Amino acid sequence: MAENQGSMTINLKVWRQAGPKQPGQMKSYVAEDVSPDMSFLEMLDVVNESLIKRGEDPIAFDHDCREGICGSCGMMINGIAHGPDPGTTVCQLHMRRYKDGDTIIIEPWRARAFPVIKDLVVDRSAFDRIIAAGGYISVNTGSAPDANAIPVPRDNAERAMDSAACISCGACAAQCKNASAALFTSAKMNQLSLLPQGQAERSDRARRMVLQMDHEGFGNCSNEGECEAVCPKEISMSNIAVMNREYEKAALQKKS
C-alpha cells in the first residue's frame, strides 16, 4: 500500500456514455488535491463538483450506503471489479492505495446482461429476475415460530449464511471473461436449499433460476475463479458446484 502524506494529483480515464444507445468513449480528467484519506467515491465526488462548476455533465455512478453493504457502487478500476483491495467494495477503497501522479482507468461493468444506462451506471435488473424466478418458499404464516422449532445442523446454517452474504453487486459477472452469473445464482439458490424451509420448491427453484440465468444472456462458468477473487463478500465458488448438482438432479426429476 502506498504511503502518502500530503494531497495527491490523480489522472483519471473514465468511460463516458450519455445513454444506452449512444456511443461511449474514454475521457481524461485530473483529480487535484486528493487526500489519501478520501474514499474512491469521495474522490469522484470532488471531480464531479469541479465538472459542475465548469458547467459540464458530472460522471454518473451508482452509490447508496457507502459502507460496503448494498453493493451498488460497482465499477471496474484498472480492470478489476471493485478495485485492487480484496474483500471490499469501491466505497471501501481509499485513495491511500494510490500514489501521486497515478493514472486510474474507470469503466462500468462489462456484460451483455448489464446494459449501460449512463457512464458507470448499468442495469442490473437481470439479477432481480433470476431471484424472482426462484419463487417463494412454502411456510405457514402467522405468529413468529419458536426459534428452535425447526432444528438446523450448524454446518448447514453456517454454509447458508455464507451464501446469503451475497450483496448482488455483479462483480462476479463483470470480472468473468464469459460474463457468467454462476456465482451469484448459486449463492442465492444455495442459501435456501441448505435450510428446511427451502426444501419444498428445491428442484423447481434450481431449474427455474438456471434457465433464467441463461435467458438473461450471461455466459457459462469459466471455472477460473475470477468471480471469487473479486467478490467483496468472498463468496466461495464451491457454491457453483452445488448449483450444478442441484440443476442436474432437478432436470432428471423433471424427465422421470
- What does each of the 256 residues of the chain score in pLDDT, given as a tens digit? 455 468 999 999 999 999 999 999 999 999 999 999 999 999 999 999 999 999 999 999 999 999 999 999 999 999 999 999 999 999 999 999 999 999 999 999 999 999 999 999 999 999 999 999 998 877 776 777 676 678 889 999 999 999 999 999 999 999 999 999 999 999 999 999 998 888 889 999 999 999 999 999 999 998 999 999 999 999 999 999 999 999 999 988 877 6
C-alpha cell belonging to residue 133:
424466478
Position 115 scores a pLDDT of 97
135-142: long-range contacts (C-beta < 8 A, 24 or more apart)?
A: 135/201, 135/204, 135/205, 135/208, 136/201, 137/192, 137/197, 137/198, 137/200, 137/201, 138/200, 138/201, 139/197
In a domain, 225, yes or no: yes
The whole domain housing 20 covers 8-107
Please check whether residues 99 and 132 belong to one and the same domain. no
Chosen domain end from 107, 142, 158: 107
Position 5 scores a pLDDT of 60
Please check whether residues 128 and 100 belong to one and the same domain. no
Position 212 scores a pLDDT of 97
Chosen domain end from 52, 76, 107: 107
Please check whether residues 78 and 160 belong to one and the same domain. no
Please check whether residues 101 and 43 belong to one and the same domain. yes
User: Where do the DSSP E strands lie in 39-153?
Assistant: 76-77, 80-81, 103-107, 116-118, 121-122
In a domain, 1, yes or no: no
Please check whether residues 129 and 245 belong to one and the same domain. yes
Per-residue pLDDT tens over the stretch 109-148: 999 999 999 999 999 999 999 999 998 877 776 777 676 6
Please check whether residues 94 and 140 belong to one and the same domain. no
Give how far Cα 75 sits from Cα of 41, 70, 108, 110, 116, Å.
Answer: 11, 14, 5, 9, 11
C-alpha cell belonging to residue 154:
450448524
Position 67 scores a pLDDT of 93
> Total domain count for the chain?
2
Position 151 scores a pLDDT of 85
Please check whether residues 246 and 175 belong to one and the same domain. yes
Position 232 scores a pLDDT of 97
Please check whether residues 92 and 163 belong to one and the same domain. no
